[in-house]
Structure 1
Amino acid sequence: MAEPPLVVEHVAKSYDLGGQIVPVIGDLSLTLNEGQIISIVGPSGCGKTTLLNTLCGLLAPDSGHIRWHGREVSGQPQNVGYMLQKDLLLPWRTALGNTMLGLEIRGVAWAEAEDRSRAMLDQLGLHGFAEHYPSTLSGGMRQRVALARTLVNEPDVMLLDEPFAALDFQSKLLIENDTVGLVRRGRRSLLLITHDIEEAVSLADRVIVLSKRPTRVKAVYDIELGSERSDMMAVRDSRDFSQYVRRIWADLDVVLQ
């Protein structure tokens, strides 16, 4: 039986701030299975971004184990896409050029990189905008380009750090639909950090609620809202959706008090 893409066992992380040790992540464990989407919610400043940076090798844990496909990896793991809240598009490159960037760095032939990037932009509703520069694109379109740049490299696992937070509601729903559809069709795994409980519930198979610093897993919810989960508005209209949101909000409210 294949190992899960990501297993986190008793990870802890602290910062040294001028000689004072500040614990950020306590004793934290989780497992991300193949084809699974997990959302992580928690109070502001609890260490969610620190957790993602530790998982993808940008920071080293103080203790514990992080296993990618059964192996502990030194540095950044392969086939993992990391997308932030800020799109970080290069202003001097077109939408196509930004999407191709990772493929260029990996040495993929130019013609293949261009074909794959154009196809990905088309899948994300950006047909006709490949030659546009970031300054001419809306916020939602810029995030679609950033998503295309992540997905075109065909990662097995995606780590997303509040990538839709700055978008208006309509743009957010449309990009959530695209993201979930591409992730589920490709049997990819997705770990999403978000402060939006409704987003967490509508996207995920499982929601993990974190405590205040030093953060730990406070609660875990397996989300059962039917097999068809690609229509974010339909998911929000489902019978049990509001119950999950209320229960998770109650957990967070206790954390914040």
Structure 2
Amino acid sequence: MFGSEPFRRLSVLPNMDIKGKLAIVTGVSKGIGLETVKLLLQEGAIVAGWGRTSADIDHENYHFFKTDVSNWDQVQASFKATKEKLGKTSILVNNAGMGYQGLIHEMDVEEWKYMFDLNVHGLFYCIKQVVPDMIEMEEGHIVNLSSIAGTNGVKTMSGYVGTKHAVTGIGHSIFQELRDHGIKVTTVYPGSTNTNFFDSIEFANANENMMRPQDIAQSIVQSVQTHANYHVVDLEVRPLKPKG
């Protein structure tokens, strides 16, 4: 009987060691991207920060490559420079993204296009670059930042919501393509987070009742550090008490 026999402790498998592994993180200047860079460096990873503005980090293992990920030519150039300087990429965190607010019939066409260029096309560009080396190494982890908006609709945010639904669909499809090559794909769905995202959003303001970006970064890094045969496909995180 279970109650009469000594409890047999299960063997604990070690986490994936990311020390010395190369991670590309996009959108590194602030918020979740910045905090993810800090934690990856703390765990011993080498980090290539891609963005239009660098993170305020002075660390021997942090290397900034000025990149607008919505631009295919810049992504190709940054990947070439990153690989030549730092080697092959084991981790990609697709964090860069933004949103404009507006009713569908009032949305500016160029703003709509830019959301898709950055949030969707940029994600594709980065994944396209890193995957061949990951396949060759039979190792890799791609983390895509979606949003709670990637699982439902939000009034006046149809463009942004559309991009995040695309991120969800891409992640769910490519994990099936890549899993047999030893490559993991994790899609993260943060709820309201205390970042500058809400600076231009009318119906909400960043506040202390929202999640801290460093906690989301911790969840991202923990998902990367899991055992090789343990795959976090979807990771939804929300504030426990969003109204305090």
Give the structure-1-normalised TM-score: 0.34
Give the structure-2-normalised TM-score: 0.36
Higher RCO (C-alpha under 8 Å, 6+ residues apart)? 1
- Tell me which protein shows more strand as a share of its residues: 1
